[in-house]
A and B are shown apart, each in its own frame.
Chain A
């Protein structure tokens, strides 16, 4: 084919394709998907990809938090996730070599449902190895009451040059002091009857007490929310002049989180969806391209060769086509635990049969055309005839077929991953759904863990189906119906 012809046929194609609404829509969505995949590091956090299976990376996130936009649909406002690392510091010298460093975080609470947890993380530098700092933590409520949350005499730290660094990590829901103190605080306002229902500090939800009005029901999560400015006070007592606070950070773990919420292991699902898109597209496209190349070459060669060679190749094709894909894939995946690249290769070698069958029947027709005969008379070799004259005729069909192959590959990979047989070094949507199923997300109603990954699979699949249908309508050579 000359360049001029190619240009003309592309022009014709584009002219016709423009009228395919469904195709234009598909192309638009595909462009958006591709841009998202390419710019994934800007849209999501690069660290999330590497640390997807490193649970320590996610420990600042809340557990099973629905998406933040849920607040638009509920009458009660749920607190979002807040991480604070800007704080005020007030240093007072208490004399006798003791220095008090008060770290103050200001938190504005204007919601109806309190944060699920409150975490404080701090690093304290001290010089006298026998005198590490003492840390007390309390919260000052808008009504002027103070509740003690944590108190520890001393923290032994890690040595560093000529000093030591004490690290503390307080989770209010896990702190016994907080439980006891909130219980004692709430008892002052509780009725006799209610107190009978809450027998000991073990039954108290500290976060709920902290953010509730001081009225009956405070221990039972029944008091109204106390809105206003809260101050988280960290009192650090140092025993050396040079001692200081290196860093402090507080996390009010949200009842809701981010765009898509979090799951049981605190992972941010938005990160998973965005990073999963890369593999979804890569896997789908690669499998589609390899499959179609194999299928077309096989089919055309078979048609061109004819005779017993054709017969043999067709028997082989039929044999492959009569295999149930998923069970075979499950078996291979369960036995060999393949990497994502091997999965792509395995898929490609299993999926080509349909394409081969159709392109063979197309090839049989093309073979009878006079220009093939002419080429043969001119002494063209088999390879040249197949490559130069037959395959280009089938190419339009190939493109449509490729688009249709993407969803098939995507669904199969998701199925394999859903059974827990995927490549665990990468993030795929099927694996997120496996985690969801394994944790019983459907039974607990964690819809934000279940719906987005499947929807993402469906959207990518549908995009390619739409493009494929449109391509098929435009390029569809009549002989495909043979």
Chain B
């Protein structure tokens, strides 16, 4: 039963954090959102005064008309409520995925609902992130295992140095370099992933998407896998010194089986959770990388929203990333709990 309790505690914790964060964000950004709304209201009123019917009204009527309009909009956007009320309202709206409307920036299908705009770009970001994550964690683990087996060899040293170097590289800058090299100089891949190909049949579409996704993909893999290989190397080296490995070897278990059966199984909980953590940790760099390649995901939306000063879109995007991030954290914990039998049976109550 311990696993169930563990699960509930983790979920509750994440939920509390999510609510608190959204509340704080709403409190902080109500002012900014309010200023933007006011500008929007004035614009709406100005548009209304262009109506020929307005020109025919007397001056006092015109003033009254403007006042009425302003009152109407202020009430519609809830600006007449107190600050506290608005903050609570905004928190609840955000939690129910109602991010309001964008100011100017529409979605590709023309909707101005922020939630629709985000819904359209989100799958593409997830596609890019998870593909990259799977590739670099597999490469990383294999390379890490190899260098742990030959600790101190030139491969091992090379991996450590490579990890140190990539750790201090901005991912998006590496993306720019890859564009210079592969798109400008060699012209193997397109510099911009936008627009994605039209859907005709599955293979043509998948091939086209992969072709356009290739540069952002290898950028993320290139920058992430070194550090990851280094981490799994350290993990495996720690496990290789455990008694059970010695026993297995002493029993005459083939080395391949020792590594892939015993060691990898023991390292599995940490490796899986760390994979998820690394993937989550790279979200920040990856969304900036997306905008370098014009990959039509969240990063590109971030870029255009920032250029057009669309605070409501940025808030929506932040909420979605925070949500995905927390979800990923909980998921990592759950997987850890599942893979580590000590947690399942409740031996270590305090983890």
Contact A418 B14 (CB under 8 A): no
- Contacting B at CB under 8 A, from A429-445, are 433, 436-437, 441-445
**Are A450 and B20 also in contact (CB < 8 A) when A315-B13, A433-B173, A457-B173 are?**
no
B295-318 contacts to A (CB < 8 Å): 302-303, 305-307, 309, 311, 314-315, 317-318
Across the interface, which residues of B come within 8 angstroms of A330, CB to CB? Answer: 302, 306, 314, 318
CB nearest neighbor in B for A320: B17
Bound Cα distance A411, B176 (Å): 15
Min C-beta distance of B194 to chain A, whole Å: 13
Assembled-state Cα–Cα distance A351/B272 (Å): 25
Given A331-B25, A415-B170, A454-B170, the answer on whether A433 and B176 have CB atoms closer than 8 Å is yes
Count of residues in A whose CB is under 8 Å from the partner chain:
47
Task: Indicate if the CB atoms of B170 and A319 lie closer than 8 Å.
Answer: no
Q: How far is the CA of A436 from the CA of B329 in the complex (A)?
A: 36
Given contacts A322-B329, A407-B168, are A328 and B179 in contact (CB under 8 A)? no
Q: Could you say which of B14, B25, B176, B288 contacts A326, with CB atoms under 8 Å apart?
A: B288
Q: Are A334 and B309 in contact (CB under 8 A)?
A: yes
Could you say which of B97-105, B203-211, B277-285 contacts chain A? B277-285
Stretch at the interface among A94-102, A195-203, A241-249, A459-467: A459-467
Q: Tell me whether B288 and A418 are in contact (CB under 8 A).
A: yes
Q: A319-B20, A466-B164 are in contact. Are A419 and B176 (CB under 8 A)?
A: no
How many chain-B residues does the 8 Å CB contact rule pick out? 51
Question: Most chain-A CB neighbours within 10 Å: which of B16, B284, B291, B311?
Answer: B284
Does A379 have its Cβ within 8 Å of any Cβ on chain B? no
Contact present for A325 and B191 (CB under 8 Å): no
Would you give the shortest CB distance from B126 to chain A, in whole angstroms? 15
CB distance from A389 to the nearest CB of B (A): 26
Q: Is the interface of A mostly helix, strand, loop or mixed?
A: helix
Known: A330-B318, A445-B185. A324 touches B325 (CB 8 A): yes
Rounded to whole angstroms, the CA-CA distance of A412 and B325 in the bound complex is: 18
**For the complex, would chain B's binding face be called helix, strand, loop or mixed by DSSP majority?**
helix
Contact A415 B167 (CB under 8 A): no
A85 at the interface (CB under 8 A from B): no
Query: A327 contacts B172, CB within 8 Å?
Result: no
Q: Mark out the residues of chain A between 261 and 319 whose CB falls within 8 Å of any chain B CB in the assembled complex.
A: 315, 318-319
A276 to B303: give the CA distance in the assembly, Å: 23
Question: In the assembled complex, how far is the CB of residue A396 from the closest CB belonging to chain B, in whole angstroms?
Answer: 20
Q: Could you say which of A315, A327, A332, A444 contacts B283, with CB atoms under 8 Å apart?
A: A327
Judge whether B303 and A419 touch: CB under 8 Å: yes
- Are B172 and A418 in contact, CB atoms less than 8 angstroms apart? yes
**In this complex, which of A327, A332, A464, A465 has the most chain B Cβ atoms within 10 angstroms of its Cβ?**
A327
A462–B161 alpha-carbon span in the complex (Å): 10
- When each residue 92-120 of chain A gets 1 if its CB lies under 8 Å from chain B and 0 otherwise, what string results? 00000000000000000000000000000
- Chain B, 40-59, CB within 8 A of any chain A CB: none
Is B270 engaged at the interface, CB distance under 8 Å to the other chain? no
Cβ A325 vs Cβ B179 within 8 A:
no
Which of these, B29, B169, B179, B283, contacts A324 with CB under 8 Å? B283
Tell me, yes or no, whether A42 is within 8 Å of chain B by CB.
no
Binding site for A on B (CB under 8 A): 13-14, 16-17, 20-21, 25, 28-29, 32, 164-165, 167-170, 172-174, 176-177, 179-180, 183-185, 191, 280, 283-285, 287-288, 291-292, 302-303, 305-307, 309, 311, 314-315, 317-318, 321-322, 325-326, 329
Knowing that A322-B17, A323-B325, A450-B173 touch, tell me 10 more A-B residue pairs with CB under 8 angstroms. A318-B13, A327-B287, A328-B318, A407-B168, A419-B302, A437-B176, A442-B183, A454-B169, A457-B168, A458-B170
Interchain Cβ contacts under 8 Å between A and B, 30 examples: A318-B13, A322-B14, A323-B325, A324-B322, A326-B283, A326-B285, A326-B288, A327-B283, A328-B322, A331-B314, A332-B28, A334-B311, A418-B170, A418-B288, A420-B306, A442-B179, A442-B183, A442-B184, A443-B179, A443-B183, A445-B185, A450-B176, A450-B180, A451-B180, A453-B173, A454-B176, A458-B169, A460-B168, A461-B168, A465-B164
